[in-house]
Structure 1
């Protein structure tokens, strides 16, 4: 015997309520009961779909984070700068502090961790395409480590925003793009 059919409209209301609460109060203050109340639903409606807060928030982020643009400017440096600017929009959002709590919860929830990794990989696709174009143009070697490239591009943003608690200024984003470009093109100059 099949269960009750899924209600896509209810799921969208629950995801929107989660997004609103996440952006207003952050991850730590969010509860599944509040999500149900905000969406005009029952708590069982939430628990039936997501057994943990981490699973709900990952699906909400997947649904509501704006996509990363896929620029094709004709040069790796300007592609990097555009992509870094897109990443910076997310890392500068007020709710990003709550991601630290989510990351801690992901360690206890393998399903949510897998969904989070899938979402993160999807958001990294434009960078992968930019690197592929740079390889085709001969700007970087075909053996370029794409995972390292992702770390070079997004890692400094995460560190500056979460650990250093500093804003992501245009000058900083330009510096990150320049350094990542120098490393990827093997043109970085070490101090003597």
Structure 2
């Protein structure tokens, strides 16, 4: 079957092929992760996905909406966590961040953190994602202070900057050829990072 036959617009009433959606979104993530917004084009995504441009425009009106859908499909929001232990909560938070940075969408996640503010129509959605992450993370630290696990004067911002920044730096400083091996030890790294940071602010 030729690419044109595969990508021909469906007959009236015929549902879209979800496999084409997945291929396009996967290709969009790869193109954006490798080249950033400046070289992110529907042509490039279509070539990577092995589909026609018409098939993409049938689903998304422009490249901004395509990238926004890619973001929503592949970047996992940080969930609120409350295990009753601030250490365990922060270890799980760090684990979520590390998985996001080292997973299949890792390049997309880190590239979005650097490029999103320059992408009209996408920046707003990334801002909403960031806001939900910040609120969930700050709630973890505030509960730890309220339970007496952390010193009363603990800076929520500095503590989270140290942990989230540590996770991001760990991903950015890891060479591509080592990402697979480093990714196998993310749980241990999350625990070591959190214990190191908490050493300065743990009550008592």
User: Could you state the TM-score of these two structures normalised by the residue count of structure 2?
Assistant: 0.64
Aligned length: 174
Residues 153-175 of structure 1: CA deviation (Å, up to 9, x unaligned): 22111111112435252332211
User: Could you state the TM-score of these two structures normalised by the residue count of structure 1?
Assistant: 0.67
Q: Which runs of no fewer than 5 residues in structure 2 stay unpaired?
A: 1-14
Equivalent position of 2:166 in the other structure: 156
RMSD: 3.6
Residues 60-89 of structure 1: CA deviation (Å, up to 9, x unaligned): 323443343433222211111121112221
- Which of 70, 86, 103 is the matching residue for 1:93? 103
Q: 1:24 to 1:100 in 2, by over 3 A?
A: closer
Equivalent position of 1:21 in the other structure: 27
Alignment of 1:100-119 (within 5 A): 100-119=110-129
CA contact (8 A) 1:75 1:134 kept: yes
Q: Which runs of no fewer than 5 residues in structure 1 stay unpaired?
A: 1-8, 188-192
Bigger Cα Rg: 2
Equivalent position of 2:188 in the other structure: 171
Equivalent position of 1:181 in the other structure: 198
Alpha-carbon distance between aligned partners in 2 of 1:85 and 1:38, rounded to the nearest angstrom:
38
Alpha-carbon distance between aligned partners in 2 of 1:110 and 1:39, rounded to the nearest angstrom:
22
Alpha-carbon distance between aligned partners in 2 of 1:26 and 1:51, rounded to the nearest angstrom:
11
Alpha-carbon distance between aligned partners in 1 of 2:118 and 2:77, rounded to the nearest angstrom:
27
Alpha-carbon distance between aligned partners in 2 of 1:181 and 1:70, rounded to the nearest angstrom:
19
Paired residue secondary structure (1:106):
helix
| Structure 1 residue 182 displacement after superposition | 2.1
